[in-house]
Amino acid sequence: MTQYLAVVNPAGGTGKTTTAHALAVSFAEYGKRTLLVDCTTTANLTFLLGVENPRDTTFDLFNNSSFAESAIVSTSERFSFLPSDSRLSHLEKREKSLSAISENFKKSLDQMDSPFDYIILDTPSTLSQVWMATLLLADFHLGVTTAGLGSVRGIIQTQEVVEVLQKSHDASAYWLGTLPTQVASDSPALELLGSDSRVLAPSIPRAASVLTAESTGKSVLNNDNSGKVALAYRELAYFILEDIASKS
C-alpha cells in the first residue's frame, strides 16, 4: 500500500525541500520505490533537479488532465520525480474542492501498473488551497523548523489546520514529529511547540555541504556521503520508515 508523506511548514527557509530530497534518496537506498513530488508554485525543487520546461506536472495531476506516467521522470539518485510549474497557482483561482484536488492526484497515481511504496510531498511555503490539499492528501506529516519564531509558529499553524481538515473531511493522518534544522533539538525556542509536538532527534546541523549540494543538483547525501548532515538524514529516514511501518 502506497504511503503519502508530506514535509510541511508554511514558513519559508526551514529546510523542507532539502529534507524532502534527502528522504527520497534515503528511502531509495533502503530499497523503497519512492516518488518525490514538487507541490510548490515556485517549483524550486524542479529547478534544483534540472528538470526544464516539463510538459506535464503536478498541476496536471491535481487538475485531472494528465496521466502520472507522462509526468513522472527518473533521476540518477534512484527515486522518481514529479515536477511542478507556475500553473499550480491557477488552482487557487478555480472552484475545486480540496477533496477533488487530492482525489484527482491519488486516482492518477493509483492507475500506475507498478505502485510506489512511498510518495514524498514537498509542500508550499504559503497558506493556500494547494497547501491544504497536500495536507489532506498525506497519510503522514513531518514538520520541519528552524529556531525562528515564524518557523515555529508555522508548525503550530499546520497542526491546527490538519486537525480542522481531518474533522471536516472525515480523514485521518499521523503526525510523525517536528524536525529541527540548523538548531539543536533541545533549543529553548522549540519549547513553544508544546509537549505533544514530538521534537525529533537528531536535529539536522548547519553545514556548508547543503548549499554545495544545491549547486550540483544532487542531494546532500550524494554530495557529501559521509558528512554529518547525510548521516543525520539517513538516521531520520530509518526512524520514519520504522515509525510508518508500526502505524500501517
What would the pLDDT profile of 231-240 be if each residue is shown by its tens digit? Answer: 999 999 999 9
What is the structure's pLDDT at 25?
98
Low-confidence ranges of the chain (pLDDT < 70): 93-96, 196
The DSSP bridge pattern shows strands 80-82 and 73-74 to be antiparallel
* Cα dihedral 202, 205, 209, 214 in deg (nearest 10): 80
Contact of 29 with 143, CB cutoff 8 Å? no
pLDDT of residue 190: 85
What is the reported pLDDT for 199? 92
SS3 193: helix
Cell numbers standing for residue 179: 524536525
Tell me, what's the pLDDT at 94? 63
Q: Which pLDDT score is estimated for 208?
A: 86
Q: Are 14 and 228 in contact (CB under 8 A)?
A: no
Q: What's the CA gap between 69 and 145, in Å, rounded?
A: 33
pLDDT at 92: 72
CATH class for the domain made up of 3-247? alpha beta
Q: Nine-digit cell at 178?
A: 517536528
Cα gap 18→227, rounded to integer Å: 15
Is the entire prediction scored with pTM above 0.75?
yes
Alpha-carbon span 12 to 78, nearest angstrom: 27
DSSP 8-state secondary structure symbol assigned to residue 199: B
Instruction: Give me the pLDDT at residue 95, please.
Output: 56
